[in-house]
Structure 1
Amino acid sequence: MREIHPDVQAALDTSRELRHRVADMRERADRIFARRPSPSGLVIPEVDAMGRLRDLYLAPGTCARFDNQELAADIMAAIKESAADAKQQYNIAMNDPANLPRPLEEIMRERQARTEADQQVPNFGKAEQ
């Protein structure tokens, strides 16, 4: 069996690292949601980081207290505030220096230094000279 060239292995490792980073970012984003009450305090929506409505709580008797337009305005105000809060949480989580991974070039320099010290480039079946 032939060995994989170190540059090809480095490219494979880099693509694997990037896939893991994307998956980690998605998991972080999926954990973000906001629940901000409406101005009346009777409506509480749950909005995720992408601004999607996940759940909506209406206190008992809310529909009886408001007419259609007032209820819709109260619900929309709560959703807008929750979406803004979720967006802010998302920006903080994604830009937090503690969550930033090591630069890929640093990882590649370390890998290249190990490869140069430990291995010799394979000859891929060519006759040794």
Structure 2
Amino acid sequence: MRDIHPDVRAALGMTRELRHRIAEVRERAEEIVARRPSPSGLVIPELDVMGRLRDLYLAPGTCARFGNQELAAEIMAAITESTQDARRQYGIAMNDTDMLPRPMSEVMREWRAGSGPDQPVPNFGKAEQST
């Protein structure tokens, strides 16, 4: 049986690492939830990062206090504000430099510069993990 060529092993490792990185990004995005109150503070929607309404809190007496148009305006104002907040949170979470993994090209460059046929497949962890 033949051994797998080191470049193929590296490519398989890169593929596996890319899948893990995509899963991490999805998990970070799914954790984002925004809850911004309406101007009166009586309506609080809960939205996810995709702008989907997950929950809606109406303080007791809210429906009696507002007419139909006013209540709809309160709900829409809170949803709009929550959507903007979720987008802000997403931008912050996805651009956090502490969460960025080590570039694959850098790892591959270092691996190729190394010598020896028995050199292990590159480690795609963060810089502090690979040393």
Counterpart mapping for 1:89-128 below 5 A = 89-114=89-114, 116-119=115-118
Q: Displacement, 1:118?
A: 4.3
The alpha-carbon deviation at position 117 of structure 1 amounts to 2.2
* Higher Cα Rg, which structure: 1
Deviation at 1:7, TM superposition (A): 1.2
Q: More displaced, 105-114 or 32-41?
A: 105-114
SS of equivalent to 2:89: helix
Cα deviation digits, residues 64-86 of structure 1 (max 9, x gap): 11111110110000000001001
Report the Cα distance in structure 2 between the residues aligned to 1:111 and 1:24, rounded to whole angstroms.
Answer: 24
State the Cα RMSD in Å.
Answer: 1.4
Separation of aligned partners in 2, 1:43 and 1:81:
12
Report Cα offsets for 1:36-85 as digits up to 9, x if no partner.
00001100001111111111000011111111111011000000000100
Q: 2:44 — aligned with what? A: 44
What is the SS of the residue equivalent to 1:54?
strand
2:55 counterpart residue number: 55
Structure 2, gaps ≥5 residues long: 120-131
Structure 2: distance between partners of 1:55 and 1:111: 49
Supply the AA of the counterpart residue of 2:24. D
Give identity over the alignment, percent: 71
- Misfit runs of 4+, over 4 Å: none
Measure the CA separation in 2 of the matches of 1:16 and 1:112.
19
- Unaligned 5+ segments in structure 1 are 121-129
**Number of the residue aligned with 2:128:** none
- State the alpha-carbon separation in 2 of the partners of residues 95 and 6 from structure 1: 33
What pairs up with 1:16-27 in 2 under 5 angstroms? Answer: 16-27=16-27
The aligned residue for residue 124 of structure 1 is: none
State the TM-score, normalizing by the size of structure 1.
0.86
Amino acid of the structure 2 residue aligned with 1:14: M
